[in-house]
Amino acid sequence: MTLAMAIVIGLLAGTHASIWGMYKDAPHEGFTWTTFVRSMLVAAVVAPLAVRWLGLPLAGPGDWVVLFGTTYAIERALAEVYKTFIRIEDQSKYFIPMQLSVFGKPVRSYGARLLVGACYVTILVGVVYAVNRIDTSGVALPWVVTVLIASAFGWISAFGGAWKDAPLEGFETLKFFRSPAMAAAFAAAMTVLTDRLLLVTLCAIGFTIATTESYKTFFRLHVPRGKFQGKPVTHPEMLTRRQRFVPVYLTIWCLVIGSYVAALIR
């Protein structure tokens, strides 16, 4: 029963990420089921592994929310590492390169990309290890300190985004501090559901990504997605077809928010 629930939650997290990704990219790249279900399948594997490796209970709605946020964070990290450092793809179709770049120019050496990618993954793992050490040390941290530590991945996201986007779009102060601020806010919300610092940290960045992408996807339709800025819409039929997925997307958000509220009133 726990395994089935973990898989379902993983599928929901992956579907959520798949829909906003498709919604923004499909008009420029077209739609394929292979690409669409990728995040769903990865998240469906990540969720049960997270339950096992992190000792996540699934006893109630609060635990479901924590697993959703944790799965979201891990799946998105895996996707970004793959797209930035491993995948080989023609970057000319993008305004902002999706592969590792320096001052807006893609790094052509595959070996260099893998080396930098290994360093990046080491930093991520190092942060997880450090947070977990604090988690298991038995030290009682003040609530404010917990929230600040849990916003760590928000800062990594901010620096990574600035490195990739700023050379071509310019540096935006508010945009830079958005991820750390939102991660801190979600960390504060997650402390109500779990006292484990590592889970709070992963959920904080997971829900930060989910919320930020929801806002950029559905509330700023007049603003072209950064990586396709100035690029033609080659699949205009997707501007209509993509609307069919919106009810599913909203349903997932309702399930997550409803579960959080249910956990608070239990």
Contacts of 171 (CB under 8 A, 6+ apart): 162
Structure confidence at residue 266 (pLDDT): 78
- Which one, of 175, 217, 165, lies nearest residue 21 by Cα? 217
Structure confidence at residue 223 (pLDDT): 66
Give residue 184's domain range. 2-265
How many helices (H) and strands (E) are present in the chain, helices listed first? Answer: 11, 2
Residue 54 has pLDDT above 80, yes or no: yes
Structure confidence at residue 20 (pLDDT): 95
Mean predicted confidence (pLDDT) in 66-77: 97
Structure confidence at residue 144 (pLDDT): 92
- When divided into structural domains, the chain yields a total of 1
Structure confidence at residue 174 (pLDDT): 80
Residue 209 has pLDDT above 70, yes or no: yes
- Which one, of 74, 39, 40, 38, lies nearest residue 56 by Cα? 74
- Split at pLDDT 50, 70, 90, the class of 159 is confident
Least confident of 96-110, 118-132, 160-174, 198-212: 160-174
Identify whether the C-beta of residue 216 lies closer than 8 Å to the C-beta of residue 225: yes
- Which one, of 121, 199, 208, lies nearest residue 158 by Cα? 208
Residue 219 has pLDDT above 90, yes or no: no
Q: Judging by DSSP bridges, how do beta strands 105-106 and 101-102 pair with one another?
A: antiparallel
Residue 222 has pLDDT above 70, yes or no: no
Structure confidence at residue 202 (pLDDT): 96
Residue 171 has pLDDT above 70, yes or no: yes
Least confident of 65-74, 213-222, 246-255: 213-222
- Split at pLDDT 50, 70, 90, the class of 94 is confident
